[in-house]
Amino acid sequence: MTLKKISFLFPGQGSQFVGMGRDLAETIPAAREIFSQADEVCSRPVSRLCFEGPMEELTRTENLQPAITAVNLACLEALREAGIRADVSAGHSLGEYAALVSGGVVSARDALRLVRKRGEVMDREAQAHPGSMAAVMGLDLETVKEIVSEASDAGVVAVANHNTPRQIVITGERGAVSKAANLVRERKGKAIPLKVSGAWHCSLMAEGVSELREFMEQIPFEVPKTPILFNATAREESDPAAIRDIMARQLTGPVYWYGIIERMLEEGVDVFVEVGPKKVLTGLLKKILPSDSPARVYNVEGKESLERVVQALG
């Protein structure tokens, strides 16, 4: 029997829903402990916001980042308790912090400390330097880069995410993003405004990078026990100091998600498990995997989906 090569993929902002993680907290002590740690570390009722909302408060950046991370980590603990572990991990933007835990770089508690700080920094920078984001559909990366370059005379604009071959997110100052969106439409692509509270992954976040990097010096980073593919490079990194730099620069740099999945396929990953709320990354995978790919795709966001994955992989 051929051994499976399993990847864990952790979602980021945009995957939230009221009620997320509640059934895991009610039935799995290790998951419940994650939520207790989140409440303690963040000095706010993260677990209540996850389980009960309201959505308006949950989606505030400084609340949402610990909340999504807590659910990701609760799902991770549930999988570990069931004896399922990743051979390689990755996380989409915010999800990269749960990937650090999966790969053995930081503890769950320290990941929660990091995302609390990250959420506070990003919320502050978004208020100081407001902007917007848009999803571009139907154009390739090189074309979108050309559009971004052309629109840059209207202000800051950049590629934020390369999610699939023809799904790319742009970010920046509102006027520049609007100009880029018009250029996208001229080239027969689609540009869909995103409901976000800031222009993530561009230079509007630059003033937060050194502060986040300095905070990371307080957190022990270890050499990964299993590989992690990082957003900024779509490659592995094993040096803890380099990982700190990558994670700090992530605030202003693009997420090369498509490149991460391509590399996993090249390295023989044949099982993808989305570990966290909703199925955003599962949807992206279906647009990346070849139609004849034998790879299997699962998600774990609660007790029922956990049981299905354990039955399939345990």
Is residue 73 within 8 Å of residue 108, measured between CB atoms? yes
pLDDT tens, position by position, 181-223: 999 999 999 999 999 999 999 999 999 999 999 999 999 999 9
CATH of domain 6-127+203-313: 3.40.366.10
- In the DSSP assignment, the letter for residue 187 is T
What's residue 314's pLDDT?
Answer: 76
CATH 3.40.366.10 placement within the chain: 6-127+203-313
- One of 15, 93, 102, 178 is an active-site residue; which one? 93
pLDDT tens, position by position, 26-54: 999 999 999 999 999 999 999 999 999 99
What's residue 1's pLDDT?
Answer: 42
pTM of this prediction exceeds 0.95: yes
93 labelled catalytic: yes
pLDDT tens, position by position, 123-146: 999 999 999 999 999 999 999 999
CATH of domain 131-193: 3.30.70.250
Percent of the chain residues past pLDDT 70, beyond the cut = 99
- Average pLDDT over every residue of 248-277: 97
pLDDT tens, position by position, 1-14: 456 999 999 999 99
Tell me, what amino acid is at 65? Q
CATH 3.30.70.250 placement within the chain: 131-193
What's residue 2's pLDDT?
Answer: 56
Report DSSP letters for 11-66, one per residue. Answer: --TT---TTTTHHHHHH-HHHHHHHHHHHHHHTS-HHHHHHH--HHHHTSHHHHHH
291 labelled catalytic: no
- One of 15, 129, 201, 305 is an active-site residue; which one? 201
